[in-house]
Structure 1
Amino acid sequence: MNGSKTYLACALALGYAAFAYFTGHIDAASAGQLVETALIGAGLRHGISTGA
């Protein structure tokens, strides 16, 4: 389970952003910000773990 927690958190954040947007709880800008932040976190995790 080494490293998969970060990707699970990213997937949950993406799911939440989509769900909240389609149910009207957040607007498109907020959903986009959540998606961008989740992807940046996953990208940083990948870069750190591979030594890139």
Structure 2
Amino acid sequence: MSTEKKSKAKAAQAKGKVKEAVGRMTDDERLEAEGRTEQAKGDARQAKEKAKDVFKH
């Protein structure tokens, strides 16, 4: 997995976790949902890159 893409996936996951936590603390359901969505996008991006690596070797 390229380092740049791996970093972007991790950043999306971390940003999502922060948004979700802030949403939970402030009772903002929309922000919490956005956080979960960003985490899912990061997870999907990471899985995609891992799959690419498997097929490269």
TM-score range normalised by the length of the shorter chain: 0.5 to 0.7
In the TM superposition, what is the alpha-carbon distance from 1:38 to its structure 2 partner?
Answer: 5.0
> Aligned residues, how many?
50
**Structure 2: runs of 5+ lacking an equivalent:** none
Change (3 A) 1:9 1:39: closer
* Cα deviation, residue 5, structure 1: 0.9
Higher helix share: 2
Query: After TM superposition, what 4+ stretches of structure 1 lie above 6 angstroms from structure 2?
Result: none
Unaligned runs of 5+ in 1: none
What CA distance in whole angstroms lies between the structure 2 residues aligned with 1:39 and 1:8?
Answer: 8
Give the aligned CA root-mean-square deviation in angstroms: 3.2
Measured against aligned partners, the alpha-carbon deviations of 1:11-34 in whole angstroms (never above 9, x if no partner) come to: 10111011111111018xx48x81
Are residues 1:7 and 2:23 paired? no
Counterpart of 1:34 (choices 27, 33, 36) is 36
**Structure of higher CA gyration radius:** 2
Q: Percent identity?
A: 12
Q: TM-score by structure 1 length?
A: 0.56
